[in-house]
Structure 1
Amino acid sequence: MKKIKEDRECFGLGVKFRKGIELKQDEGSITSIFMASRNTSVPMIVVASDSEAKKQGEDGIFVICCDKCGIKMKKTLKDEINLFHSIGEMTDLK
């Protein structure tokens, strides 16, 4: 959740969107994703439909600085999914 300096190595954490979620208007660009559990927004690359990442099944990529940050980001994403899944069950949103 911190800025990666220009001269530093970085990695990508690919994500697959849930069925029915499409961000066609954002393809090939960077968008901000709000993480309620951390009360902050993080940038995510929305892969282009003709990109190598899309061919490998990825819909979005979060840029991370190291394995430790990747592990934290995966946990945060799981927490977000669980949070919104629970809210959907409580309010019966479908």
Structure 2
Amino acid sequence: MLQCSWCMKKIKEDKECFGLSVKFVEGLNLKEDEGTIKSIFLTTRNTSVPMIVVAEDSEAKKQGQDGIFVLCSDKCGIKMKKALNEEISLFKPDGEILKLE
């Protein structure tokens, strides 16, 4: 079962969910965490949130994504995107919110 990275609500398997893809800044190395869910501390929220670190051989990585935040709604996605745009020490701004299938 996944958890929304913004509101922390559990997302049941039969429910729609969204993803906010991110690209890491130069020098941020999470290679050993590829293919796992890692807790990332966001200073703008003063808390840690879960993020999927994409695997090197994944379709997401081939499309240029380094991480994905799972979200329960567009509303949470918009809030997370705003917060992540302020986390310039970790992520490049303007990730894309996608509907996960």
TM-score where L is the length of structure 1: 0.80
Let me know the Cα RMSD of the aligned residues.
1.6
Higher relative contact order (CA 8 A, sep 6+): 2
After superposing on structure 2, the runs of 4+ consecutive aligned residues of structure 1 that deviate more than 2 Å are none
Percent identity reads 70
Shift of 1:79: 1.9
Contact 1:4 1:10 in 2 (8 A): no
What are the ranges of 5 or more consecutive residues in structure 2 without an aligned counterpart?
A: 1-5, 90-101
Taking the aligned partners of 1:37 and 1:14, their CA distance within structure 2 comes to 18
Q: Which amino acid aligns with 1:3?
A: K
- The 5 Å alignment of 1:1-94 reads 1=6, 2-6=8-12, 7-81=14-88, 84=89
The structure with more radius of gyration: 1
TM-score where L is the length of structure 2: 0.75
What are the ranges of 5 or more consecutive residues in structure 1 without an aligned counterpart?
A: 85-94
